């Protein structure tokens, strides 16, 4: 599995960059825990527990900061 | 649903940039957990639990850092 | 309520920038949880629990990083 | 109380910058919780609980990142 | 053991940079806790507990931010 | 005790920069809690608890980001 879909940080729009940030966050979770069953059980937890929803959104924010810089903020 | 409302990081004022930061944080929560009912229950928790209020404000700070850089800090 | 008091990241001194960082952190908490009563109860917790005091100081550090960059570090 | 001792981010050496980072982190804790008695009790906790020691060292790292950039890394 | 495999932050592709980020995160864990048995037990926990999976993915995001900047974002 | 061994962020190699990041993280822990006995007890906890191992590795990542920037990423 690719860790960075498309092997590039460059995207056409901020929206596409944001989707890439979400994908990169997810793919690093897959790389750490490749067992789909465990991940599915885990998802039930993190996607309903506000604590972990917020933590997940923080990882997306961090990945996006890097992608936005790579794209000169799509200025 | 758009992850980045308006598909741009450029805003006219710092205040508008801050609102965008809050929206981006919220929209990534919606994207991870699209079920409105679960989110509503969750909100009752994170918006009253100081721990999670602080964690939420940290995500806003991180999103805003990216938006502020994109706008050359509205100098 | 304004999220960024004065609608600017530019301040005359590092000290004023630091106060702005604290205000911005607080105002985003108000925006997420506008109910003053809940916030007051919450404050009793986060301002006495070392865990949450440290987490709050981290948000201030993050907001300040953005403000300091905006002001070219008051060099 | 000053939030930033000396009202400047510029220091002569990295070591002095690091001390400033620690002071800034502490002073923002004081500003959030000015009651010395509560802080003293809290300190007994955060300075012995590994969890909170690590969290404190993270805040120092974040403050220092800003100070180091302000000083062009003392190159 | 090397903390940074290859002793360089420069990689040919974003994908290789992402793998380096994961390796650097792992190697600093090894350096803090060199006992393989304890790490193996720990891995069973952090790779199944959603909380710690998310925290791990955050460290990867932070390491990657540095590597991406080092490589001028492979533009 | 020095907070920054050698009083400089400049290192010859990425590997040396990474070791400095680890030392800086440790020294700020020492500065907050100078009692060796408490630290030794704490270490047994944080170096075996996956939660705290991950948190420690995050502090190393943050310190390293600053050191890497200081060294222009050893390009």
ipTM of the complex: 0.96
Beta carbons of A15 and B38 less than 8 Å apart: no
Domain contains A45: yes
Question: What is the rounded distance in angstroms from the CA atom of residue B14 to the CA atom of residue F38?
Answer: 46
pLDDT tens, residue by residue, B38-71: 888 888 877 788 888 999 999 999 999 999 999 9
Please, which pLDDT band fits residue D39 given cuts at 50, 70 and 90? confident
Domain contains B26: no
Nearest CA in chain E to F50: E42
Domain contains E63: yes
Query: What pLDDT score does B40 carry?
Result: 85
Residue among E49, E60, E51, E50 nearest E22 (CA)? E60
The count of domains in chain D is 1
Query: What pLDDT score does D16 carry?
Result: 98
Query: What pLDDT score does E11 carry?
Result: 98
DSSP assignment string, D22-68: HHHHHHHHHHH---HHHHHHHHHHHTT-HHHHHHHHHHHHHHHHHHH
All residue ranges of chain C with pLDDT < 70 are: none
Beta carbons of C48 and D58 less than 8 Å apart: no
Q: Average pLDDT of chain F?
A: 93
Domain contains A13: no
Beta carbons of F15 and E25 less than 8 Å apart: no
Q: Phi-psi region for residue F72, left (φ > 0), alpha (ψ -120 to 50) or beta?
A: left
Query: What pLDDT score does C15 carry?
Result: 98
Domain contains B13: no
Domain contains B75: yes
Domain contains B1: no
Q: Which domain holds residue F39?
A: 35-75
Beta carbons of D70 and C68 less than 8 Å apart: yes
Averaging pLDDT over each range in A51-55, D62-66, F40-44, which range is the top one? Answer: D62-66
pLDDT tens, residue by residue, C28-44: 999 998 888 888 888 88
pLDDT at E19 over 90: yes
Set of chain F residues whose Cβ sits within 8 Å of the Cβ of E31:
22
Set of chain A residues whose Cβ sits within 8 Å of the Cβ of B43:
50
Domain contains C23: no
pLDDT tens, residue by residue, F19-75: 999 999 999 999 998 888 888 888 887 788 888 899 999 999 999 999 999 999 999
Beta carbons of E33 and F54 less than 8 Å apart: no
Q: Do chains C and A touch (3 or more CB pairs under 8 A)?
A: no
């Amino acid at each position: 599995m690719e860790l960075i879909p498309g092997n590039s940080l460059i995207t056409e729009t901020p929206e596409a960059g944001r989707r890439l940030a979400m994908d990169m966050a997810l793919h690093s979770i897959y790389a750490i825990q490749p067992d789909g069953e465990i991940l599915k059980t885990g998802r039930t937890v993190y996607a309903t527990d506000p604590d972990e929803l917020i933590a997940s959104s923080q990882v997306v924010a961090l990945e996006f900061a890097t992608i936005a810089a790579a794209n000169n903020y799509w200025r």
